[in-house]
């Protein structure tokens, strides 16, 4: 029994620093290499010591796959490649490769320039890291080496996000990264083949959540924003640079147009331009509506949404501001929050998941005083609303994906342990498959039933019917022929659990054997009243009755043909015992097929057979 091993170096019963190492058919594949937004110490990166005590790590990993550009999935990549010494291949989609270094550089500036983290990676590290990346297209089968192949599928979530199907021989697994089974205003829904992998590794951020209708959430969002600005308050919406930001911008832009609202909407400086550039560059990754209207106008060229300047924080009057990052753990969104949080007329709308340890998570759990450091304490009087516009699959979406690809086993990552347990039980109950949820550093061992596949060359299986040969048709006996020519001898050859049919001469050459013939001798009882001549004649009659439709003829004194079976009788020796005459007859098979029924007829149980 073969097995697949999977160990999370991050995101095991936790959200953040996604990094899972899977051993499949002797290959080690690392899936994502993210950072944890809730930690500032060495826990912000995955624990690579599970691979080896120290780098370089290239001998331990055959390839690294990045599912999308969010920092909890790619934030540790330059650290792993340039500072820990991984020099192997890295795979991601084209949009991810384009956007990833921009977000990494923005975050590097925050960590180094504002927080003084001297052990962080440098700008040059990011550039050198991205040179190692091999971009892939959706549905493109990429041959990593002679045995390992990967294939990317559309995951929704953010532009460029992909699920990956990895295969070695007849063993395979699917890694989802983050995905969304519901289409939105600018992206389509995730989709994958019914590929029936041995293991599905799926995120479980919303393992116990069933969202209400998207329409209801949008109406609720617009209502709360409108009520706040009508009373003169300010609305802060922390978002990631690409993804939900564009979704909510399209929603507010449409509402502002319809209601003729003049209150300003701002977006973090520079990000609007970057978003427009990449959405235009990778328009094929958006949904059908965006693609259809893009020729007439770019939906991301907003007329009501302007670039934000830090000086606007002190401006009086209502406004709506989209600011990064999305979890209030640093940057402009945290700076604005510190200024606006004491005012009860203002509103904070959290549209996505917040990792434990971030300011966003503390606010959502109801803390009224948040200590950033020994000198800074924030009084939280601002109205706080959590309206999930997260692009993660909810519980029903996860179940939908499992139905779609029909895995033999499921493993949950990127979620909270207590919620995973609930979803695990539901998966086992509905799909009757084993479900795993290993913690960080814990290895899940998934048994896989060993399969042996037979590869038969296409021309080897070509057959000609009896009608094409001008012969009578037979359903009981057919001959495998190569290239529609004369019958050939075929042999089954097994190599590394791969079974294939090849020509006899090729097999003997590969195995280093000399070709030889086996001759069989049987004793057949013939009544003393029958001569050998009569025996041949009667044998032909009996065969004709037993195998109706077969062509049987005697070539000469010692040869018979039954269909394409050529029996050459080598020796005939008659013995007289009382009234029974015995004939010892040996034959050899000139063709590759001798039907069992014929063999049984020629060597009855009463006969003694041996190798001659």
Q: Where in the sequence numbering do the catalytic residues fall?
A: 203
Answer whether 321's CB lies under 8 Å from 245's CB: no
Token pair belonging to 151: 């294939």
Secondary element (H or E) of residue 510 = helix 504-511
Give the pairing of strands 63-65 and 27-31: parallel
* Cα→Cα distances 219→216, 233, 524, Å: 5, 19, 91
Secondary element (H or E) of residue 99 = helix 94-109
Token pair belonging to 44: 């912000």
Chain centre to alpha carbon of residue 317: 50
* 3-state SS, one letter per residue, for 287-329: CHHHHHHCCCCCCCCCCCEEEECHHHHHCCCCEEEEECCCCCC
Answer whether 294's CB lies under 8 Å from 283's CB: yes
Three-state secondary-structure class, residue 609: strand
Answer whether 154's CB lies under 8 Å from 182's CB: no
In the chain, helix, strand, coil percent, each to 5? 30, 30, 40
Answer whether 30's CB lies under 8 Å from 63's CB: yes
Q: What sign results for the dihedral spanned by CA atoms 119, 123, 128, 133?
A: positive
Distance CA 446, CA 292 (A): 45
First to last CA, the chain: 40
Question: Which residues are CB-neighbours of 463 under 8 A, at least 6 positions away?
Answer: 478, 479, 480, 481
Instruction: For 120-187, give the DSSP string.
Output: SPPHHHHHHHHTTEEEE-BT-EEESSSSEEEEEEE--SSTT-EEEEEEETTEEEEE--S--SS--SSB
* 3-state SS, one letter per residue, for 315-382: CCCCEEEEECCCCCCCHHHHHHHHHHCCCCCCEEEECCCCCCCCHHHHHHCCCCEEECCCCCEEECCC
Answer whether 308's CB lies under 8 Å from 321's CB: yes
Distance CA 265, CA 212 (A): 27
How many other C-beta atoms can be found within 10 angstroms of the C-beta atom of residue 156? 27
Answer whether 88's CB lies under 8 Å from 62's CB: yes
Q: Which residue has the tokens 């190569």?
A: 482
């Amino acid at each position: 029994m073969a097995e697949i091993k999977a160990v999370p170096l991050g995101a095991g019963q936790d959200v953040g620093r996604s990094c899972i190492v899977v051993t499949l058919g002797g290959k080690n594949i690392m899936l994502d290499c993210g950072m944890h937004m809730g930690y500032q110490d060495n826990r912000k990166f995955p624990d690579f010591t599970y691979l080896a005590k120290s780098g370089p790590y290239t001998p331990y990993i055959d390839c690294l796959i990045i599912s999308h550009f969010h920092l909890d999935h790619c934030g540790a990549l330059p650290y792993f490649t340039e500072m820990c010494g991984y020099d192997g291949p890295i795979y991601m989609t084209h949009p991810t490769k384009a956007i990833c270094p921009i977000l990494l550089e923005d975050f590097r500036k925050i960590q180094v320039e504002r927080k003084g983290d001297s052990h962080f990676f440098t700008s040059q590290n990011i550039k050198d890291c991205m040179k190692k990346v091999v971009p892939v297209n959706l549905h493109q089968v990429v041959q990593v080496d002679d045995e390992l192949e990967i294939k990317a599928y559309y995951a929704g979530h953010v532009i460029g996000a992909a699920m990956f199907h990895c295969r070695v021989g007849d063993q395979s697994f699917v890694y989802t990264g983050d995905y969304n089974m519901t289409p939105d205003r600018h992206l389509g829904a995730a989709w994958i083949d019914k590929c029936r992998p041995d293991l599905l590794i799926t995120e479980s951020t919303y393992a116990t959540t069933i969202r209400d209708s998207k329409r209801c959430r949008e109406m609720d969002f617009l209502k709360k924003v409108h009520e706040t600005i009508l009373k003169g308050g300010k609305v802060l919406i922390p978002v990631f640079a690409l993804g939900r930001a564009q979704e909510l911008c399209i929603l507010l832009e449409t509402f502002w147009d319809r209601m003729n609202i003049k209150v300003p909407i701002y977006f973090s400086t520079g990000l609007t331009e970057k978003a427009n550039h990449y959405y235009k560059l990778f328009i094929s990754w958006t949904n059908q509506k965006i693609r259809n209207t893009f020729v007439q106008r770019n939906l991301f060229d907003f007329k009501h949404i302007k670039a934000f300047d830090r000086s606007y924080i002190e401006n009086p009057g209502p406004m709506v501001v989209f600011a990064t990052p999305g979890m209030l753990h640093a940057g402009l969104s945290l700076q604005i929050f510190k200024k606006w949080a004491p005012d009860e007329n203002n509103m904070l709308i959290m549209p996505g998941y917040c990792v434990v340890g971030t300011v966003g998570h503390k606010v959502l759990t109801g803390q009224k005083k948040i200590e950033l450091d020994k000198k800074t304490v924030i009084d939280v009087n601002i109205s706080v609303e959590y309206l999930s516009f997260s692009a993660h699959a909810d519980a029903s979406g996860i179940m939908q994906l499992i139905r779609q690809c029909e895995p033999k086993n499921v493993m949950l990552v990127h979620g909270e342990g207590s919620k995973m347990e609930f979803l695990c039980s539901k998966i086992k109950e509905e799909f009757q498959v084993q479900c795993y949820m290993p913690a960080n550093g814990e290895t899940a061992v998934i048994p896989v039933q060993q399969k042996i596949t037979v590869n038969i060359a296409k021309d080897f299986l070509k057959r000609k019917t009896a009608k094409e040969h001008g012969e009578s048709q037979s359903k009981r006996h057919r001959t495998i022929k190569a290239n529609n020519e004369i019958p050939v001898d075929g042999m089954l050859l097994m190599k590394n659990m791969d079974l294939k049919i090849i020509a006899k001469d090729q097999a003997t050459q590969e195995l280093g054997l000399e070709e030889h013939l086996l001759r069989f001798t049987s004793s057949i009882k013939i009544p003393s009243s029958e001569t050998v001549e009569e025996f041949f004649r009667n044998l032909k009659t009996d065969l004709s009755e037993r195998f109706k439709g077969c062509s049987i003829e005697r070539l000469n004194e010692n040869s018979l043909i039954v269909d394409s079976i050529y029996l050459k009788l080598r020796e005939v020796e008659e013995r007289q015992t009382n009234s029974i005459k015995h004939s010892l007859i040996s034959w050899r098979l000139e063709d590759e097929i001798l039907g069992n029924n014929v063999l049984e007829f020629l060597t009855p149980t009463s006969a003694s057979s041996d190798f001659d």
